[in-house]
Amino acid sequence: MATDNEKTGAFDVSQLKQERCPDCAGSGQLHFDSENINEHFEVEKQTVITPCPRCAGKGFLPPG
């Protein structure tokens, strides 16, 4: 039945009541600001985006 929901865009309403992950604020992603110095001694700034390890990128904590 999960495949039917994916095709139609329907979702389980009970998912809205789940606790959001406090580490990523429910986005499922973590953003890190990083600075590197290149060969011309210039500072390069970038943002690294990675899936949240606590909620496995889902944005909600597993029950239990």
State residue 7's pLDDT score.
67
State residue 17's pLDDT score.
75
Q: What angle do CA 11, 17, 23 make, to 5 degrees?
A: 100
State residue 49's pLDDT score.
93
Could you read off the pLDDT of 8-46 as tens digits, one per residue?
677 777 766 778 899 999 899 999 999 999 999 999 999
Does this model's pTM top 0.95? My answer is no
Confidence of residue 64 (pLDDT cuts 50, 70, 90): low
DSSP 3-state of 16: helix
